[in-house]
Amino acid sequence: MKEIPFSIPVSGVVRIDEDQAIIIVHEAKTIISLRPETLSGKGTPLEPGKTMYDVILETAREVVQSKGFNRFTAPELYRKALEKYPGLNRGSFMSRVIACTPDHSSYKHYVSNRDYFSRIGSGFYQLND
């Protein structure tokens, strides 16, 4: 099959309203929404002013309170946080748990100057509150 490139001059109109752009070329009309969408798994939808670190600390406090003792795992925190924030990225969440644990062996890679947790064993943490 052989392809032959060509171009056709076309004129049209672009109308931009507050939340949409309408492109009209002859009788063809395309509407583009200008409102940002948050897709599941694309970014983390948090309340304004709230960081992932805030979510981790809040979740750890909830887990400790519900269990009645100060011992938990990072996957346990992640599962609990997903109930309220279903768009959380697992890798980002887990690395930030490490960033909140200065005595973790991988802390040097994720330094955040937050001292929320202490590592009490392989995969187990406790809240420093």
pTM value > 0.85: no
Are 118 and 112 spatial neighbours (Cβ–Cβ below 8 Å)? no
pLDDT in tens, 27-71: 888 888 877 654 444 555 778 888 999 999 999 999 999 999 999
**What SS3 state is found at 118?**
strand
Provide the pLDDT for residue 103.
93
Report in angstroms the alpha-carbon separations of 121 from 39, 57, 104, 114, 125: 37, 19, 10, 19, 7
